[in-house]
């Protein structure tokens, strides 16, 4: 049997050729030339300002209706024009902002940018299209309200971000149905503005030429700059206290979420915390997978990771386990959190986690789409375009004592908030030795 060859060095990510500029209206343009294929990947990020829970229906509907027509074109005409360019456009939205993505052949880049500019600046929100999308969103909400995975995730967010839009409460079907074309038009005019937005372009493009094109083609995109206010920083969550058990009578599975607020990417401790999180549960050979899956067979794929938002970050452990092993699985998660917070990781664990993270980031940066996505994510969090280079260098410098210090400070079980979705009658008695259990009935 041949020996497994040693892993070679990771690719070097060089971002020295990034060009950073802006339009007169405040739209930032970040471009990097990667001419390996004759395509350009475009990513537009638009912060939505100081949104509140009452804006959730509009945030849900906005990405569904943005392509439903512009001032001069119907939805079918928009779709036909995009198709003629070979242009696939995706739109999404969250409390943090609106996201638009597109991949286009270099040969039609000016036409593609004109399409993006028209869609982002002049959506028509026709009543018939809005009415149809409303009903689809209502069905999505009803499904989410019944999905135990979504219930668990939202239950943890509600406790980590109390009274903040990051808690992401589900809008009611009636609130969705009350949101019409006029409301969406007002929301768009107030919130979807060029100032503070960023356009990322990665591919076979000359950055200098791109800036002039964007200045010209996006000149019709205006807005009441600052009219939407600024999203406020989330308050600190209350101290963790026991286990919140969201009752789901008859459930054969429990959805376990354990989490806490933690530093984001701009914090000095983040690289060490990212490595600690990865060693604990961030990939397939992590401690949680070895314990919960390989040794005990409690779950197929437990996971631990850092969920990032523009103004805050949170660490969370996720596991879906059988009802009969809920307490045992939670005890093992507590054990691994405690071990992580009180003992140093081994050199092998640190090296494997470092190589895993470096490999994932380097592979993403090797493609036009991957690099565009990384840039857009980092820039929307207020980081600089070359942040990726800095992170890779920092990951190489972190040692075992730094990982231990970050884990001791942020990952101990005592600071965690625990939410379980499951059959209270079946699991509550077994959970009580692990902490005070508060049972919360779910709407029927």
Q: Between 113 and 5, whose confidence is greater? A: 113
**3 domain-assigned:** no
Q: Would you state the pLDDT for residue 225? A: 52
**1 domain-assigned:** no
Q: Would you state the pLDDT for residue 66? A: 96
Which of the residue ranges 203-217, 248-262, 312-326 would you say has the lowest mean pLDDT? Answer: 203-217
pLDDT tens digits, one per residue of 11-53:
678 888 999 999 999 999 999 999 999 999 999 999 999 999 8
Q: Residues 174, 297: one domain?
A: no
Q: Residues 106, 144: one domain?
A: yes
CATH number reported for the structural domain that contains residue 54 in this entry: 3.30.830.10
Cβ atoms within 10 A of the Cβ of 260, count?
Answer: 21
**136 domain-assigned:** yes
Query: What does the pLDDT average to over 53-69?
Result: 95
Q: Between 230 and 433, whose confidence is greater? A: 433
- For residues 22 and 40, give the distance between their C-alpha atoms in angstroms, rounded to a whole number: 19
* pLDDT bracket for residue 360 (50, 70, 90): very high
**End-to-end alpha carbon distance in the chain:** 60
Beta carbons of 204 and 35 less than 8 angstroms apart: yes
pTM: 0.94
Q: Residues 115, 36: one domain?
A: yes
Domain that holds residue 347: 243-441
Q: Residues 270, 129: one domain?
A: no
Q: Residues 334, 425: one domain?
A: yes
CB neighbour class for 276 (10 Å; exposed up to 12, middle 13-18, buried from 19): buried
Domain count of the fold of the chain: 2
pLDDT tens digits, one per residue of 107-118:
999 999 999 999
Q: Residues 125, 267: one domain?
A: no
Query: What does the pLDDT average to over 145-170?
Result: 95
- For residues 215 and 223, give the distance between their C-alpha atoms in angstroms, rounded to a whole number: 15
Q: Residues 302, 427: one domain?
A: yes
Q: Residues 167, 94: one domain?
A: yes
Q: Residues 330, 185: one domain?
A: no
Q: Residues 126, 260: one domain?
A: no
Q: Would you state the pLDDT for residue 1? A: 57
pLDDT tens digits, one per residue of 165-178:
999 889 999 999 99
Q: Which of 182, 201, 217 is the last residue of a domain?
A: 217
Cα-based angle 25, 30, 33 (whole degrees, multiple of 5): 140
pLDDT tens digits, one per residue of 215-234:
999 999 987 655 578 889 99
**223 domain-assigned:** no
pLDDT tens digits, one per residue of 222-280:
876 555 788 899 999 988 889 999 999 999 999 999 999 999 999 999 999 999 999 99
- For residues 66 and 80, give the distance between their C-alpha atoms in angstroms, rounded to a whole number: 15
* pLDDT bracket for residue 72 (50, 70, 90): confident
Q: Would you state the pLDDT for residue 170? A: 93
pLDDT tens digits, one per residue of 85-99:
999 999 999 999 999
Q: Which of 167, 183, 217 is the last residue of a domain?
A: 217
Q: Residues 195, 247: one domain?
A: no
Q: Residues 84, 167: one domain?
A: yes
**229 domain-assigned:** no
**257 domain-assigned:** yes
Query: Pairing mode, if any, of strands 88-94 and 97-105?
Result: antiparallel
* pLDDT bracket for residue 289 (50, 70, 90): very high
Residue 364, pLDDT > 80, answer yes
**141 domain-assigned:** yes
**213 domain-assigned:** yes
């Amino acid at each position: 049997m041949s020996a497994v060859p040693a892993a070679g060095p990771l690719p070097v990510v060089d971002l020295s050729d990034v060009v950073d500029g802006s339009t007169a209206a405040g739209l930032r343009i970040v471009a990097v030339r990667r001419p390996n294929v004759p395509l350009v990947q475009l990513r537009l990020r638009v912060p939505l300002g100081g949104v509140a829970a009452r804006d959730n229906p509009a945030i849900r509907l906005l990405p569904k209706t943005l392509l439903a027509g512009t001032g001069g074109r119907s939805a079918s005409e928009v779709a036909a024009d995009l198709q003629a360019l070979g242009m696939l456009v995706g739109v999404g939205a969250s409390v943090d902002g609106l996201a638009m993505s597109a991949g286009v052949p270099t040969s039609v880049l000016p036409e593609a940018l004109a399409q993006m500019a028209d869609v982002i600046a002049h959506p028509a929100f026709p009543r018939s299209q809005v009415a149809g999308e409303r009903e689809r969103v209502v069905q999505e909400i009803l499904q989410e309200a019944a999905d135990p995975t979504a219930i668990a995730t939202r239950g943890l967010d509600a406790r980590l971000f109390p009274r903040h839009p990051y808690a992401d409460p589900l809008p009611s079907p009636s609130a969705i149905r009350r949101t019409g074309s006029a409301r969406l038009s007002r929301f768009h005019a107030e919130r979807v503005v060029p100032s503070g937005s960023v356009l990322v372009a990665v591919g076979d493009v000359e950055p200098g030429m791109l800036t002039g094109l964007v200045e010209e083609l996006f000149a019709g995109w205006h807005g009441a700059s600052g009219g939407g206010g600024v999203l406020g920083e989330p308050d600190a969550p209350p101290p963790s206290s026991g286990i919140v058990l969201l009752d789901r009578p008859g459930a054969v599975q429990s959805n376990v979420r354990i989490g806490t607020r933690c530093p984001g990417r701009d914090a000095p401790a983040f690289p060490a915390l990212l490595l600690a999180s990865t060693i604990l549960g961030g990939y397939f050979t992590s401690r949680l997978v070895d314990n919960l899956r390989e040794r005990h067979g409690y779950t197929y794929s437990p996971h631990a990771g850092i969920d990032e938002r523009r103004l805050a970050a949170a660490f969370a452990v996720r596991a879906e386990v059988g009802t009969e092993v809920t307490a045992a699985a939670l005890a093992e998660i507590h054990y691994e959190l405690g071990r992580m917070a009180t003992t140093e990781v081994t050199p092998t664990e640190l090296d494997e986690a470092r190589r895993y993270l470096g490999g994932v980031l380097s592979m993403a940066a090797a493609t036009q789409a991957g690099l565009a996505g990384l840039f857009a994510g980092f820039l929307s969090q207020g980081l600089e375009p070359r942040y990726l280079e800095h992170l890779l260098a920092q990951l190489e410098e972190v040692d075992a004592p730094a990982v231990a210090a970050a884990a001791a400070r942020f990952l101990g079980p005592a600071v965690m908030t625990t939410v379980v979705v499951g059959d209270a009658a079946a699991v509550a008695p077994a959970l009580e030795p692990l902490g005070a259990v508060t049972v919360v009935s779910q709407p029927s």
